[in-house]
Amino acid sequence: MSEQSKDVCDPNSAAEASNSEVHSSPGVPGGLSPPASQAATLAGPESPPLGPTDVPLASPPPEAPSEEGDPKALQQAAEEGRAHQALSTAQPGPAPPAPAQLVQKAHELMWYVLVKDQKRMIIWFPDMVKDVIGSYKKWCRSILRRTSLILARVFGLHLRLTSLHTMEFSLVKALEPEELDRVALSNRMPMTGLLLMILSLIYVKGRGARESAVWNVLRILGLRPWKKHSTFGDVRKLITEEFVQQNYLKYQRVPHVEPPEYEFFWGSRASREITKMQIMEFLARVFKKDPQAWPSRYREALEEARALREADPTAHCPRSSVSED
Amino acid sequence: MGAPSPRSPRPEGAAAPAFLLWPPAVGAAPGYRALSHPQGGTRRAGVMTDVHRRFLQLLMTHGVLEEWDVRRLQKHCYRVHDRTGAVEELEDFINNINSVLESLYIEIKKGATEDDGRPVYALVNLATTSVSKMASDFAENELDLFRKALELIIDSDTGFASSTNILNLVDQLKGKKMRKKEAEQVLQKFVQNKWLIEKEGEFTLHSRAILEMEQYIRETYPDAVKICNICHSLLIQGQSCETCGIRMHLPCVAKYFQPSLEPRCPHCNDYWPHEIPEVFDPEKEREAGPSKVSKRSLRSRQH
């Protein structure tokens, strides 16, 4: 299923866009269109470029930033629009809410999204409507747009529709790459240490790590599958369920092995958020060795770092992040 | 930080402060214009830079942080975005950010751990009227278990509720039926997520919960709630005067009585019968090493 990623603007121009004066003009550069057009795809079309609209939005935002819908999005939007039309012909259009109320809803939605992201939970559009927007569903688009603006302006975060199919949003950092952030406070985040331990084991092996191997390593930390830990709680549940749910790890059955055994792989989120160089630095710190003690892995990490720098020339070199002050 | 006086969380109509400039029918957020034109209004709104944005992002990610972590975080954000700039004094830095957050009804709030006075910071939503931050995390019966525990803690004299007493209420929970064994695990989940602290089989509120839910608690339990006589914030654990009954946080006791040789109750002037704790000293804490187990935390049941 194609991802509805409005990556027309890269993070840098989004940051610029949110830095510059935000006026309600259609001529706003690419930085603003993504959140707005995402909102448009879900909350019903309204502006002429999207084709005939049926939705009489009572208090329409006057500006209409240029939308770049793709055919699928337009279809979805048109369907949504028809649904809205059916609703509004049933009863006379409700009075538009006071602007202050829309603003308040936008603030509630902002907090809701921030908390969901903090808990690393999925931000699901139907949940947003059910839990926050409620009866203001018709004005969902303007609420969503305002929320996106606030998040960009104040937090430097992009509220991005990551999957139109599942209607999931995620908060993406619009600032420069910050792999440093995750480990900036690493010695105060036991979860990260545990996760890094497992990820580095998988990385060093070069393939999936069997569950038994992982437990051998965790034994060093005094963790056992059957023992509850004061900080981690049920460790087994944490690594086989929670980390998997958060896409940091993959937990799969090893094929053709009886009795059944399972192995761990890097999850998609780990691949996105954690660099190989960070793993090497972590290993170096834990084993008190030079990262070059794992020569082939270190070479891989260098390769990846170089590729990342080339992909984003404005990024500054990540320094030794794990061995923070 | 000086706040403009009318702090009503729900702006009705056009009651917003002058500098926010919410003209009625515009969809975009003109309030942000205020950020680059800090003119008029009751006070200058701060300017958000990428340093502040990253700081906010990370503070939100971590939920609640102790002061030294916050300083580290601040330095880190400067290093990433503005290496040449001078690192602003933390209090001003945070006030600056808060002046921007004010129109969004959120705030970086500073509090202190009740047992040994370590300063903590959290980003809190001032407009909440429920335990909304937790709501997305927990099932209905789990939330209700928390509410029951919260009630017991607030009603108690010591600020602690025993595990037994909480578990005995398991039958009264809303939602799906929960067994005691399950409830024990849910309580542990609360501890791990820093909503509750456990000490010897008893539970009290984590400083995070106090920071985030103070408003909710004061509104929901206006009669049962205890307030510190010195700082006038919510009090869960503390010391109380045996004569007149006023209460004070342990760190507030420490600060208030620090210079005096004969501690007397600020309200009734009677001799203060409890041991006076030491004032929290961040330097000493640093020397003792990063391990968080606080040896100096006194037994809080001094009533």
Higher pLDDT: B152 or A73? It is: B152
pLDDT tens string A71-107: 444 444 444 444 444 444 444 556 777 888 888 889 9
The stretch A283-293 carries a mean pLDDT of 82
Contact B26 A61 (CB under 8 A): yes
ipTM of predicted assembly, 2 dp: 0.70
Select the residue from B59, B75, B76 to test the A interface by mutation, using most A Cβ atoms within 10 A. B76
Beta-carbon contacts of B36 under 8 Å, excluding residues fewer than 6 positions away, are A21, B47
Percent of chain A, pLDDT > 70?
Answer: 61
How would residue B285 be classed by pLDDT, with cut points 50, 70 and 90? low
Of A296-305, B14-23, B40-49, B183-192, which gets the smallest average pLDDT? B14-23
pLDDT at A241 over 80: yes
Question: Is there a contact between A191 and A172 (Cβ–Cβ < 8 Å)?
Answer: no
Q: Determine how β-strand A157-163 pairs with β-strand B106-112.
A: unpaired
Strand (E) or helix (H) holding B237: none
- Chain A CB contacts of B35 under 8 Å are 153
Higher pLDDT: B57 or B47? It is: B57
Residue A237: what are its φ and ψ, rounded to 5°? -65, -40
Alpha helices in chain A (DSSP H): 11-19, 33-43, 71-90, 99-118, 125-128, 140-150, 179-184, 190-205, 211-220, 235-237, 243-245, 268-273, 276-287, 295-311
Question: Is there a contact between A45 and A55 (Cβ–Cβ < 8 Å)?
Answer: yes
3-state secondary structure at position B119: strand
3-state secondary structure at position A127: helix
Of A95-99, A208-212, B77-81, B212-216, which gets the smallest average pLDDT? A95-99
Query: For residues B237 and B232, what is the distance between their CA atoms, to the nearest angstrom?
Result: 14
Measured from the Cβ of residue A111, the count of other Cβ atoms closer than 10 Å reads 23
Strand-pairing partners, residue B111, are B120
Nearest to B32 among A131, A145, A153 (CB): A153
pLDDT at A41 over 50: no
Query: For residues B221 and B226, what is the distance between their CA atoms, to the nearest angstrom?
Result: 10
Residue A94's pLDDT is what?
63
Query: For residues A137 and A91, what is the distance between their CA atoms, to the nearest angstrom?
Result: 15
Tell me which residues of chain B, numbers 137 to 176, contact chain A at a CB-CB cutoff of 8 Å.
Answer: 137
What is the chain A residue with the closest CA to B23? Answer: A99
Tell me which residues of chain B, numbers 243 to 282, contact chain A at a CB-CB cutoff of 8 Å.
Answer: none
Residue A39's pLDDT is what?
37
Residue A9's pLDDT is what?
29
Angle A190-205/A211-220 helices, nearest 10 degrees?
Answer: 130
Burial class of residue A308 (count of CB atoms within 10 Å of its CB; 0-12, 13-18, 19+)? middle
pLDDT at A45 over 70: no
Residue A13's pLDDT is what?
32
Residue A128's pLDDT is what?
87
The stretch B49-54 carries a mean pLDDT of 89
- Chain A CB contacts of B133 under 8 Å are 115
The stretch B118-129 carries a mean pLDDT of 83
Strand (E) or helix (H) holding B109: strand B106-112
- Chain A CB contacts of B104 under 8 Å are 107, 110, 150, 154
Residue B162's pLDDT is what?
93
Tell me which residues of chain B, numbers 4 to 33, contact chain A at a CB-CB cutoff of 8 Å.
Answer: 10-14, 16, 22, 24-30, 32-33
Residue A313's pLDDT is what?
56
Select the residue from B60, B87, B190 to test the A interface by mutation, using most A Cβ atoms within 10 A. B60
The stretch A161-174 carries a mean pLDDT of 80
Residue B42's pLDDT is what?
46
The stretch A272-287 carries a mean pLDDT of 82
B100 and chain A: CB distance < 8 Å anywhere? yes
Beta-carbon contacts of B240 under 8 Å, excluding residues fewer than 6 positions away, are B246, B247, B248, B303
Query: For residues A259 and A252, what is the distance between their CA atoms, to the nearest angstrom?
Result: 14
Higher pLDDT: A13 or B48? It is: B48
Q: What is the dihedral of CA A234, A236, A240, A244, to 10 degrees?
A: 40
* Average pLDDT across chain B, whole number: 77
The stretch A228-247 carries a mean pLDDT of 82
Question: Is there a contact between B99 and B1 (Cβ–Cβ < 8 Å)?
Answer: yes
Nearest to B72 among A61, A131, A185 (CB): A185
Residue A291's pLDDT is what?
81
Of A28-32, A192-196, B74-78, B109-113, which gets the smallest average pLDDT? A28-32
Peptide bond preceding A259 in cis form (omega within 30 of 0): yes
Which of A281, A193, A185, A267 is CA-nearest to residue A229?
A193
3-state secondary structure at position B128: coil
Percent of chain B, pLDDT > 90?
Answer: 29
- Chain B CB contacts of A185 under 8 Å are 58, 62, 69, 72-73
Of A111-125, A299-313, B131-145, B196-210, which gets the smallest average pLDDT? B131-145
Q: 0.90 cut: is pTM over it?
A: no
A110 and chain B: CB distance < 8 Å anywhere? yes
pLDDT at B97 over 90: yes
The stretch A137-163 carries a mean pLDDT of 89
Query: For residues A3 and B298, what is the distance between their CA atoms, to the nearest angstrom?
Result: 55
Tell me which residues of chain B, numbers 36 to 95, contact chain A at a CB-CB cutoff of 8 Å.
Answer: 36, 48, 50, 53-54, 56-58, 60-63, 69, 72-73, 76, 80-81
- Chain B CB contacts of A98 under 8 Å are 12-13
The stretch B286-291 carries a mean pLDDT of 54
Contact B28 A61 (CB under 8 A): yes
Beta-carbon contacts of A26 under 8 Å, excluding residues fewer than 6 positions away, are A63, A64, A65, A66
Nearest to A185 among B30, B57, B62 (CB): B62
pLDDT at A64 over 60: no
Query: For residues A223 and A214, what is the distance between their CA atoms, to the nearest angstrom?
Result: 10
pLDDT at A62 over 90: no
Residue A101's pLDDT is what?
86
Question: Is there a contact between A95 and B41 (Cβ–Cβ < 8 Å)?
Answer: no
